Amino acid sequence: MPLRKLLAAIVLFLATAAAAQSPQPVPQFRTVGDARQLFVNNHPFLILGGELANSSSSSLRYMQPIWPRLKLLNLNTVLVPISWEMIEPEEGRFDFAVTDGLLEGARRNGLHIVALWFGSWKNSMSSYVPAWVKRDERRFPRAQAADGTTLEMLSAFSLANEDADARAFAALMRHLRQVDPQRTVLMVQVENEIGMIPSARDHSELSNAAFAKQVPTVLVPKGKAGGTWAQVFGSDADERFMAWNDARYTERVAAAGKAEYPLPMYVNAALAQRGALAGQYPSGGPLPHLFDIWRAGAPSIDMLSPDIYFPNFVEWARKYAVPGNPLFVPEASRAGQEEESSNAFFAFGALNAIGFSPFSIDSISTEGQPLGQAYAMLGGMTQLIVQAQQRGTIRGFRPPVAFNGTIDETPAAATLGGHRFNVSFIDPWTPRDQQHIASHGGLVLQCGPDEFLFAGSGITITFAPADGAGYDGIESAWEGRFEQGQWKPRRLLNGDETHQGRHVRLPPDRFSIQRVRLYRYH
């Protein structure tokens, strides 16, 4: 080989090796225009996710056949429990073999990970703490119920508990920083569904002492009159006291982790049934009525997220998509529910969600799975969706469902780009008894002047000029798909497919995309 060519080859080799070594930027939240988004490698990212069943990630062998199935479902991210008992079997001795294997498995299958830190609490309980913590009750005190029963739950009022958890979490984050320059791990959930049950607050000695000390002085949210906490909040005092102290504990753990590796962090909430009392649901968790306390108490937490198992997805999702708190649904019911895809379209299209993830994703088959088809479609459109979220040029639709399961079939209305859309969830050409209305939904985004992309299933859209002058007609409606982000038109729809120009219809038996150009006539 001539010298010049040899030198060029060496330079190229060194440059490629350097690029492979140089770490990607740390994932972070940024606000751009109307949207607060998760940036991965400097680009806004949508988590098309699923959460593993609780015990799957304890074994690399068990996980082996699961990874490719997640890929077949078109996930780009998997939510993976990493537990305290798994990484610190003896105090101060850390073992990251399984953690590293999980990262490897994800990378081999082109997936990202959201790590779930099952530390002091998992669904209120402390079953995931290591044996050396479980067995040393004196050093690591437990919470107590109002009747004095000791619970298998670390007390949030013990510094020893907090220190031990923070040390372990910091070790995990330090390790991730060292072994994950390629940013396989995008975010971390700190603890899991924090909150006190069956009483509204911990009644251990430590907690009682804190209650006596804090209640007269503790933070009173803006707008409330002064006074003792109990006077201000009445019967809510116990729950708000618990929320504040859970938030402070979580802050200590999260801040210790962030000091090692500042990945975005969030906490997830077990939601409360209407009318339920604190303690019947996990009291003090990051619920909407406690947002002020969680934000003040845990500033290192970037996001408060709902686990939505109730049918009224729309209502709960709206409560969490509030200014400064991007919507991420880490547990969007159990995987395999027929309405999960319409929930995903609604979350991304109506509420600028950064991610969506049904629970126990490894328990469903990959064959003909609606979620997989919806994710394929959303994955192909990601670039357009995140841009439209920033510009405020996207809308999402699904029929709201009440807590008792009643579906509100009223058509939805939206205005975008000078046009008013009427979105019906009842398909005109399918017998009513064959329609699963709750699974119908989709999104529309503007992709040019008078030009829109409609994506979803089981919705029919009619149009009118927003200013009321004249009528909207369809200039063209192309059915097509996105391949690697590129639009590939397939059929020009007209005739029966558009009801002779009267509507755009996304049939209920599949997911489809149409690129539609409108015009005005008088």
Residues engaged in binding ligand DGJ (CB under 6 A): 54, 123, 192-193, 307, 331, 359
Phi first, then psi: what are they for 501, rounded to 5°?
90, 5
**Which C-beta is closer to ligand DGJ: that of 88 or that of 331?**
331
Q: Least separation, in Å, of the C-beta of 158 and ligand DGJ?
A: 23
Q: Least separation, in Å, of the C-beta of 118 and ligand DGJ?
A: 8
Q: How many residues are present in the chain?
A: 522
**Which C-beta is closer to ligand DGJ: that of 57 or that of 512?**
57
Q: Are 129 and 91 in contact (CB under 8 A)?
A: no
Q: Least separation, in Å, of the C-beta of 343 and ligand DGJ?
A: 16
Q: Least separation, in Å, of the C-beta of 192 and ligand DGJ?
A: 5
Q: Least separation, in Å, of the C-beta of 280 and ligand DGJ?
A: 16
**Which C-beta is closer to ligand DGJ: that of 39 or that of 84?**
84
Q: Least separation, in Å, of the C-beta of 515 and ligand DGJ?
A: 39
Position with the least CB separation from ligand DGJ: 193
Closest to 35 measured CA to CA, from 46, 48, 26: 46
Which residue's entry shows tokens 């479609």? 377
Q: Is the bond into 198 cis (omega within 30 degrees of 0)? A: yes
Q: Are 337 and 358 in contact (CB under 8 A)?
A: yes
Task: Give residue 413's Cα distance to chain centre.
Answer: 26
Token readout for 383 is 């670039």
Q: Least separation, in Å, of the C-beta of 317 and ligand DGJ?
A: 17
Spatial distance between the Cα atoms of 344 and 358, rounded to a whole number of angstroms = 10
Spatial distance between the Cα atoms of 406 and 403, rounded to a whole number of angstroms = 7
**Which C-beta is closer to ligand DGJ: that of 116 or that of 371?**
116
In terms of C-beta distances under 8 Å and separation of at least 24 residues, what long-range contacts does 488-497 make, across chains too?
489/515
Which residue's entry shows tokens 């939510």? 79
**Which C-beta is closer to ligand DGJ: that of 74 or that of 192?**
192
* DSSP-based three-state secondary structure for 149: coil
Closest to 143 measured CA to CA, from 163, 125, 167: 125
Q: Least separation, in Å, of the C-beta of 85 and ligand DGJ?
A: 15
**Which C-beta is closer to ligand DGJ: that of 189 or that of 393?**
189
* DSSP H stretches of helix in 326-418: 340-350, 370-380, 382-391
**Which C-beta is closer to ligand DGJ: that of 356 or that of 454?**
356
**Which C-beta is closer to ligand DGJ: that of 66 or that of 206?**
66
Q: Least separation, in Å, of the C-beta of 502 and ligand DGJ?
A: 44
Closest to 399 measured CA to CA, from 461, 434, 442: 442
**Which C-beta is closer to ligand DGJ: that of 162 or that of 193?**
193
Token readout for 374 is 């919806």
Spatial distance between the Cα atoms of 200 and 278, rounded to a whole number of angstroms = 5
Spatial distance between the Cα atoms of 273 and 445, rounded to a whole number of angstroms = 34
**Which C-beta is closer to ligand DGJ: that of 302 or that of 307?**
307
Q: Least separation, in Å, of the C-beta of 52 and ligand DGJ?
A: 9
**Which C-beta is closer to ligand DGJ: that of 81 or that of 130?**
81
512 membership: H or E segment, kind and range = strand 512-521
Give me the sign of the Cα torsion angle 446, 452, 453, 456.
positive
Spatial distance between the Cα atoms of 386 and 354, rounded to a whole number of angstroms = 9
Q: Least separation, in Å, of the C-beta of 360 and ligand DGJ?
A: 7
